[in-house]
């Protein structure tokens, strides 16, 4: 039987890359999507579940039978400043609660560098970093096997990544620099296969001067 991992926010720029990386690793992604969302042709044969995250029954059904959930939902820039609260805090909490109800014990959450910091320019968008930290804390207290991935500034670049290493630290040790979304996706999938990532907040940026090493090895030198 094939392994199945659910990806919420799977039509997003990071989410669809996570799904592609799961496929590359031989894992079947179950794409959790809004009704109007589109996915790239590379994912057209994947299982797709269209739902509202606010519908608890639909969410429970969508998560039945998966071994893990990767949460890649995130509020989009909008004039609606309540978006970060609804998506990055309450939406994450709903997904965690659903995992608890249907016994999905492994969750990886894509958050953001500087989550929880009040004095940050990104908070002009509905206090987004504050709400992201509230979502993180809900996961930390859930009793599930969790990992939080906090990437730096996200880029769409797909070339030259094989020469680029990930700078990995524990929480609140980085506050700048960027990382391609593809490397974020790879880190999320690697975290699923790395027991040492459980119960850890991983801040990640990338640099060509950082050597490429396996996540398990990088965790050995990262301060928790």
pLDDT of the residue at 123? 67
**Does residue 147 fall inside a structural domain?**
yes
pTM of the model: 0.95
SS3 at position 14: coil
Say which CATH number the domain at 116 has. 3.40.50.720
Would you tell me how many other CB atoms lie within 10 Å of the CB of residue 180? 20
The CA distance from 91 to 94, in Å, is: 5
- For the chain, the residue count is 224
Q: DSSP letters of 71-117?
A: E---PPP-S-TTHHIIIIIIIHHHHHHHHHHHT--EEEEE--TTTT-
> What total number of domains does the chain contain?
1
Active site residue 112: yes
Boundaries of domain holding 187:
4-151+179-202
Rg of the chain over all Cα atoms, to the nearest angstrom: 16
Q: What angle do CA 196, 202, 203 make, to 5 degrees?
A: 155
Which residue is catalytic, options 11, 98, 112, 206?
112
pLDDT of the residue at 82? 86
Q: What is the mean pLDDT, run by run of 10 residues, along the chain of 224 residues?
A: 93 97 98 94 97 96 98 81 89 98 98 84 77 96 98 94 93 93 98 97 95 92 74
């Amino acid at each position: 039987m094939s392994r199945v991992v659910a990806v919420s926010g799977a039509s997003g720029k990071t989410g669809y890359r996570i799904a592609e990386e799961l496929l590359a690793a031989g894992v079947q992604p179950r794409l959790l999507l809004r009704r109007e969302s589109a996915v790239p042709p590379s994912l057209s044969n994947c299982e797709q579940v269209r739902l509202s995250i606010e519908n608890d029954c639909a969410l429970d059904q969508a998560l039945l039978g998966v071994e893990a959930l990767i949460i890649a939902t995130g509020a989009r820039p909008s004039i609606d400043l309540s978006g970060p609260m609804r998506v990055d805090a309450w939406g994450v909490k709903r997904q965690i609660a659903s995992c608890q109800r249907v016994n999905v014990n492994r969750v990886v959450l894509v958050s953001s560098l500087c989550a929880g910091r009040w004095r940050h320019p990104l908070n002009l968008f509905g206090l987004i970093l504050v709400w992201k930290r509230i979502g993180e804390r809900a996961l930390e207290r859930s009793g599930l096997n969790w990992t939080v991935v906090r990437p730096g500034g996200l880029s769409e670049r797909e070339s030259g990544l094989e020469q680029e290493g990930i700078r990995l630290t524990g929480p609140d040790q980085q506050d700048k620099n960027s990382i391609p979304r593809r490397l974020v996706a790879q880190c999320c999938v690697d975290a699923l296969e790395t027991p040492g990532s459980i119960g850890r907040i991983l801040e990640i940026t990338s640099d060509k001067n950082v050597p490429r090493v396996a996540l398990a090895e990088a965790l050995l030198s990262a301060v928790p």
